Every structure is written in structure tokens, then in C-alpha cells.
Structure 1
């Protein structure tokens, strides 16, 4: 429920996600929270400065809907290391298993600014991946963010101070704190759940996307969706001003 509030769920429209008396149901993008635990474990011995870390891509796949109460084991491993010149990129896979087997898997790529140039392979290009069709979107949903959105979202366990502490943000070269990329991801995923699955988490299967721009607190996130095949849609997150904030994104779902 706290996660749902962190990505903008409102009692008036999504009571079943924020109130135990009506569920609660679990948003599919909650998968990134246990996935983040696996990622943290995989990076435990990686020497880096937190303020130089940026999220590049995020993906997850659900084997079944996430239950509101469960016990499980999370594991994570670094599966890729790329040299982008000015930055290193780490690819990390995480798996959550419960008593019934694998519940979900996640993948994240992380940019470590200033850590490139070590002579490694550059890695594959993602240019043109999941490009939106050249037509109007089939579905478009707008959701405003709050000035305190980052303060709420971080309570789900993403404690990076760059999203709340102005002094720490300046250490990373930013003028002010900004929204967590995964908070933006949650806003877009929440809109896709409504626009493609009628709000039913049991129909949501997977999502992938690349973080393109930072979202400032108080901005509106516009999620555009193009149905490209049965059970598949290209999606894109933008600000109300037209800046793309989540690109190369795709959702699969059950119709």
C-alpha cells in the first residue's frame, strides 16, 4: 500500500491498492522493490560513489500476480559489465522465489558515472528498440506527481539521498533532488495497468523501459500506449511539456 501511494495511487480511483479493506491488490511494478534487494546484494562488494550512480534500464516479468503477503528468497547477480567510455554499465538480474517457485524476475542496468575507460567491451546498442509507431497512441493517461513524491516513494526502501537531500544532489552535479527513476517507472506502469489491463494485476505480465530524462517533483507524467500485437504494447512516458522520461518501453499482458 505504501508503494502504491509512492507511485501516485489515489483512494478515490484505486482504493483496492491502498486500503486493506478492499484487498489490497499489489501493483505489478512493485516487482522492482524485491528486485532492488537482489541488486543491492549483488553490488555489496562493488566500490562506487552513490551520487555517481544512475539507473539506465529496468525490466521485470511476473510468473503470477504478486500476493499482498508472502515470504520469499531474493537473489541477485551481476551478469554484464560494459565500458561506455565516461561510465561503466552494470547489468543485474534478480529473482524472487516463494514456496510455489519463482514469483518474478527483474533486470536493471546501472550507469556508474566516471567509472568507464577501463578497456572493456562497449556492449550492444539499444538505438531504435521499442520505438513508438508513427501514429496517435491508442491510449493516453496523465497523472500529476506531488512535490513530496520522492519523500513518499523512498519509504518503500529506495534510500538514495539524491532524491531528497539538496546538498547530496549537488555532490552528484544536480541543481536539486529529482524523482527516483523507479518512481517514474511506477507511474508509467500504473497507467499501463489501467489502460491495457483494466486495472487487473492478474493480466499484467512484463514491462521494460529505459530512463531518458529526470522528472521534477510536481510535474505531470503522460503515459502513451500503442497496441502493436495481441497482448503487447509499446509505451512511452513524457512530461506534460513533451519531454520523454521513459523510452524504449514495452508491456506484455493477457487480453
Structure 2
């Protein structure tokens, strides 16, 4: 039976959820977040591996979010994906049978809304592969008497200088239609009528698709395209990206193996903010 939102939910765990993927799933995800055969062949061609983008871990990791939705009373129409993070413990294998163990990590009362955090540990018979963390913002679900939570003021702020790296990737008109085949069928990203009913002018890109585009920029720019050098990536979703927009990733290396990340569209609107990644320097 679903439980009401309250601070008592913190620490609630879910039964391990089985998942699996094949090389075809890995390649489809890579294409869904913009990989190009001419420059990223190893990520889309089975005869070259395929290598696995580290952000693929959000796909099995998000099963934890689904588990929480079944445990907690919430109106899915009022749900917004607030933040996403992944920690890679070892390179993701190109095919695997795994389980995802989910846990509620935080419950905050923002007054007119509630914020819930959920962690997903993805592991196979050889141990942990990655840990994901997501927060969701539930409009109209606050006022239950909980703590407001910590302030995000000053977290992962870009230095007041030009970025060390700027990477621009175009998205395609069919980008959201392609990405949804990796497991996020929300009609708001493909159905114009549904998007307009939800208050948007047209379908927009999945936040996790944008996250994958930026993850590619991090991988190729800071990790030498080697997934084994990728450590972690945390981000806050700040605005929509529409299919056909450019995603401009700006990276400030602030110490060895740590960079502040910000993503914008070609129009200058920030779409990922308060973001940071870690990596193994050369």
C-alpha cells in the first residue's frame, strides 16, 4: 500500500529489481544521446566493442524511481525531475544481468511542493557497477510539516572566468522520439497535444537525454573518450531543450579530476545548472 509523503520515508528500501541489457540496447542509447558513427564508432558498432557511455547507468538506475512511485502516494501529473547524479564504480559492461536496489534518501517540505530523493545501486554478480541518485519535485505535495532541506546557494558555481572547454553538439528533430526507445515513453516528449495540455508549446527533449549529451562532452573532453576514466556527474535540470536545439557544454576544471559543468542551448538559456563531474586525469 502506498504511503503518504513524510520524513518517515527516509531510509525506506525496495526489493531488488532485476534488469538486463544487450549490445543493441547500449547502441540504441548511444544514438539516442547523439553519438555519431564517424567520430564515435566504438559506441555504436558491435564489432568495435561496443564501448558503453557511462551515463547509460541512469537507465537501469531509474528503476529505483519507479519503485518509489509504487511505494509513495503522488500525482504523477505534478512530478518534475529535479536533479540527477551517477557515480560509476567500474565501466559498464556492454551486456549484463543486474539488479537495482532502491532507497529513499531525502524528503523535503518546500511549502507548496515536496522534494523526494531516491538512490539506485546497480550491481551484477561481480558487484556494484554504478549508483544513481535522482530528486523529484512534486507540485502541490508540500505542507506536511517536514524540514525544508539545505540551501543550494553557492553549490557548484562556475568560476568567474572563461570555461576551459566548450563543446557544442546539435540535436536532431527526431532526437526525443529516438531517446524514448531506451525506456522513457512519457508522451510529453513526442505527442504535441499532450505537451500542450501540460502547458508546453511543443514536445521537448527528455532531461536525461540532455544529461547524456553533456555526459558525452565530459567523456570525450576530460576522459579521452575512455569510460574507465569517468568518475561521476551530478546536475540540476534548469530548462527545456527542444529537438533541433544545440546543447552547449561548458567545463571549468577547478582541481585535478574535478570540473564544474554548465549546459546551455544556442539561445543562451541554461538547461543544466549547479553541475559537477569527476574524472581520472591523464
TM-score range, shorter chain: over 0.9
**How many pairs are equivalent?**
255
Q: 2:94 is matched with which residue: 55, 68, 92? A: 68
1:19-40 CA distance string (max 9 Å, x none)? 1011100001111101111221
Q: Output the CA distance in 1 between the equivalents of 2:194 and 2:146.
A: 30
Aligned residue number for residue 103 of structure 1: 129
User: Does the Cα contact within 8 Å between 1:50 and 1:160 map onto a contact in 2?
Assistant: no
Q: Output the CA distance in 2 between the equivalents of 1:128 and 1:68.
A: 38
Q: Which moved more, 1:73-82 or 1:192-201?
A: 73-82
**Structure 1 residue 47, shift from structure 2 partner:** 3.1
Unaligned runs of 5+ in 2: 1-26
User: Does the Cα contact within 8 Å between 1:61 and 1:205 map onto a contact in 2?
Assistant: yes
Q: Output the CA distance in 2 between the equivalents of 1:37 and 1:203.
A: 25
Question: What TM-score do you get using the length of structure 2 for normalisation?
Answer: 0.87
Q: Output the CA distance in 2 between the equivalents of 1:126 and 1:147.
A: 34
Aligned residue number for residue 128 of structure 1: 154
Q: 2:193 is matched with which residue: 146, 154, 167? A: 167
Q: Output the CA distance in 2 between the equivalents of 1:192 and 1:154.
A: 22
Instruction: Provide the alpha-carbon RMSD of the alignment.
Output: 1.2
1:163-213 CA distance string (max 9 Å, x none)? 112222233222221111111111111111111011111100111011111
Q: Output the CA distance in 1 between the equivalents of 2:140 and 2:198.
A: 11
How does 1:108-187 map onto structure 2 within 5 Å?
108-187=134-213
Q: 1:189 is matched with which residue: 209, 215, 223? A: 215
Aligned residue number for residue 82 of structure 2: 56
Aligned residue number for residue 215 of structure 1: 241
**Structure 1 residue 85, shift from structure 2 partner:** 2.1
Question: What TM-score do you get using the length of structure 1 for normalisation?
Answer: 0.96
Q: Output the CA distance in 1 between the equivalents of 2:87 and 2:184.
A: 20
1:4-53 CA distance string (max 9 Å, x none)? 11111011110110110111000011111011112211221333333321
Q: 1:227 is matched with which residue: 253, 256, 278? A: 253
User: Does the Cα contact within 8 Å between 1:209 and 1:249 map onto a contact in 2?
Assistant: yes
Unaligned runs of 5+ in 1: none
Q: Output the CA distance in 2 between the equivalents of 1:160 and 1:116.
A: 24
Q: Output the CA distance in 2 between the equivalents of 1:191 and 1:208.
A: 14
Asked if 1:93 is matched to 2:133, the reply is no
